[in-house]
Amino acid sequence: MPIIESTYKPLFWTKSGFVSTVFSGLARKVKHFHQIRERITLPDSDFLDIDWSYADTKSNKVIILLHGLEGHAQRPYLTGTAKLFNQNGIDACSVNFRGCSGAPNLLYRSYHSGATEDLDAVVNHIISLNKYAEIYIKGISLGANMTLKYVGEEREVPKEVKAVIAISSPCYLKGSCDELLSLKNRAYAIRFLDHLKQKLKPKLEQFPDKITIDDYKSIKTLIDFDHVYTSKAHGFKDAYDYYDKASSLQFLPNIKVPSLIINALNDSFLSPECYPVKEAKYNSNLYLEMPKYGGHVGFIQKGEFYYNEKRALEFVNEL
């Protein structure tokens, strides 16, 4: 499809990508919102905690929401979307990736950008409820890459999946990692790495045959983390093999489900390859919107809901 011309107009103080990113991540609050938790067992005997919120009236539509790196289902970028969709007659299922719900997962493995088997398990679980004729999926950052990979892989996407939305998607993981490791993003990289290492630490005692204290101490950067843990725990040779195989960019030409990507041009986490102009032009199911502003998962607007949330609702309503 032709590239979509964005209508996003930021408030004057949110034009900075840094301000937009930080404010949305640390200061935003979504009030008067309630979720109900369900735990589902995965095929490998591990579990996922999913948090439900519902429309006021019985609905046959649901949106699955996927968070970003070291996020969870209570992050405002998920609860804002869930609340907006609930107010418009659509239920919401907010997924906590393995180990992200406040309870450690059972296995050595956890989650990563390309773990579409877990998203598939959630989709199949929802289909088994026999309640929903239409399923939408919205992923944020890491969850956005996973979402696009899911609908672009060589699988028969269930007919109930009608549309997907990907926000601030690092379609090319190696490029995004390089950006995160650059000086301009040093504060973000340190924060992410600290969270990741704290979560990995208990696995030293649980799985001493898989990781040693020396391995743990060798982790100094995000790419080290992916070399030592992410790749080895999830069946990849090393970090570069993980980035190569888990990136959604290569799967975009195969997407057959209407899919909207919104990547801001001032998103400091994204490399040039993360703006898939060519792929969008040659795939009638792929819609690419590149606002000048928005930062990483920002898109602040006046009022309770943000631009990307309203656009997601518009997109599914236009189908």
Q: How many C-beta neighbours within 10 Å does residue 129 have?
A: 9
Q: pLDDT per residue over 32-80, tens digit each?
A: 999 999 999 999 999 999 999 999 999 999 999 999 999 999 999 999 9
Q: Which residues share a beta bridge with 47?
A: 41
Q: What is the pLDDT of residue 177?
A: 97
pLDDT > 70 fraction of the chain, expressed in percent and rounded: 100
Q: How confident is the model at residue 2 (pLDDT cuts 50, 70, 90)?
A: confident
One-letter identity of residue 183: L
- Which among 45, 129, 33, 113 is positioned nearest to 73, based on CA atoms? 33
Bridge pairing between strands 286-289 and 61-66: unpaired
Place of tokens 């499809």: 1
Averaged over 124-134, what is the pLDDT? 98
Determine the average pLDDT of the residues in 232-247.
98
Contact call for residues 63 and 136 (beta carbons, < 8 A): yes
Token digits of residue 130: 């026999």
> Once rounded to an integer, what is the mean pLDDT over residues 108-115?
98
Residue 289, strand partner residues: 4, 262
Q: pTM of the prediction?
A: 0.97
User: Which residues neighbour 283 within 8 Å (Cβ) at sequence distance 6 or greater?
Assistant: 1, 252, 253, 255
- The whole-number pLDDT of residue 156 equals 94
How buried is 254 (Cβ within 10 angstroms: 0-12 exposed, 13-18 middle, 19+ buried)? Answer: middle
Q: What percent of the chain has pLDDT over 90?
A: 99
Where do we find the tokens 């995160």?
180
248 vs 56: CA distance, rounded Å: 35
CB within 8 Å of 265: residues ≥ 6 apart: 275, 290, 291, 292, 293
**Whole-angstrom distance, CA of residue 178 vs CA of residue 223:** 9
| Calpha distance 115→317 (Å, rounded) | 28
pLDDT of residue 1: 63
Domains annotated for the chain, with CATH where assigned, are 12-171+249-317 (3.40.50.1820), 173-246 (no CATH)
Average pLDDT over all residues of the chain: 97
